[in-house]
Amino acid sequence: MELAVILLFVLSIAVVSTLWGRIEKRRAANPTSEAGTSSGADGSAGARPATARPARPARQAPAGAGTSPQAAKEAASLLTAEQHRQIYAALGQGQPVKALKLYAMFTGSGIRASGAAITNMAAHPQPYVRPAADPGTPAAPDAAKPGSAQPDAAKADAANPGAGAESEAVREEEISKWAQQLRPEDFLKP
């Protein structure tokens, strides 16, 4: 007799849990149902509409969220050919933080603006487009012609071939100092 009572108790628990599971499944499938609300004799007193609760709180995207090819084009237009190559090389190597640091250093923009630019440039790769010359300014001398003027940096590199590695080390040191000052809050979207 004691065994039968124990079996009936276990069976009743199984039935109740099965029914409860079905009720919860129906609530999840139909969040607008008014199950569980109290109503008066006319159906209006004390009734409140059931509201669906999301599994986790929905987070609103910032006003300028998302990426666009136009934003990527504008971000890439601020870079020179060498800067463009360095940033896309960092992105291609899977180093978005390095690309962000380089972009901020090259353009002088802040962390958030640089992050948005790098996100756009990574989502919509842009080829380097040489800026169009203003019609009112004379054309620059052609570098392929003999006797043409070289930029000061090119003259310095030609005179001192070891200076390139030295300037690269200085640049890496500046980036390192800049990176040590970063905080996690700098990477949060507005």
Per-residue pLDDT reduced to its tens digit, 95-123: 999 999 999 999 999 999 999 999 999 99
Give me the mean pLDDT over the 115-141 stretch: 78
Q: pLDDT tier at 126 (50, 70, 90 boundaries)? A: confident
> Is the pLDDT higher at 163 or at 8?
8
- Per-residue confidence (pLDDT) for residue 127, from 0 to 100: 87
Q: Return d(Cα 151, Cα 187) in angstroms, integer.
A: 37
- Per-residue confidence (pLDDT) for residue 30, from 0 to 100: 81
Residue-wise pLDDT for 22-80, tens only, equals 999 888 888 665 544 444 444 444 555 555 555 555 444 444 457 888 999 999 999 99
For residue 149, pLDDT beyond 50: no
**3-state secondary structure string, 113-142?**
HHHHHHHHHHHCCCCCCCCCCCCCCCCCCC
Q: Return d(Cα 152, Cα 54) in angstroms, integer.
A: 62
Label residues 19-28 b or e (16+ Cβ within 10 Å = b).
Answer: eeeeeeeeee
For residue 164, pLDDT beyond 80: no
- Per-residue confidence (pLDDT) for residue 145, from 0 to 100: 47
HSE, CB side, 13 Å, CA atoms: give it for residue 168: 7
For residue 134, pLDDT beyond 80: no
Q: Return d(Cα 13, Cα 7) in angstroms, integer.
A: 10
Q: Return d(Cα 70, Cα 129) in angstroms, integer.
A: 14
- Per-residue confidence (pLDDT) for residue 63, from 0 to 100: 41
Helices (H), the chain: 2-29, 69-76, 81-92, 96-107, 111-123, 152-159, 163-180
Give me the mean pLDDT over the 177-182 stretch: 72
Q: pLDDT tier at 20 (50, 70, 90 boundaries)? A: very high
Q: Return d(Cα 120, Cα 59) in angstroms, integer.
A: 21
Could you tell me which of 179, 190, 155 has the C-alpha nearest to residue 63? 190
For residue 168, pLDDT beyond 70: yes
Three-class SS state of 161:
coil
- Amino acid (1-letter code) at residue 62: P
- Distance linking the first and last C-alpha atoms of the chain: 69
Within 8 A by CB and 6+ apart from 12, the residues are none
- Per-residue confidence (pLDDT) for residue 38, from 0 to 100: 46
Residue-wise pLDDT for 78-99, tens only, equals 999 999 999 999 999 999 999 9
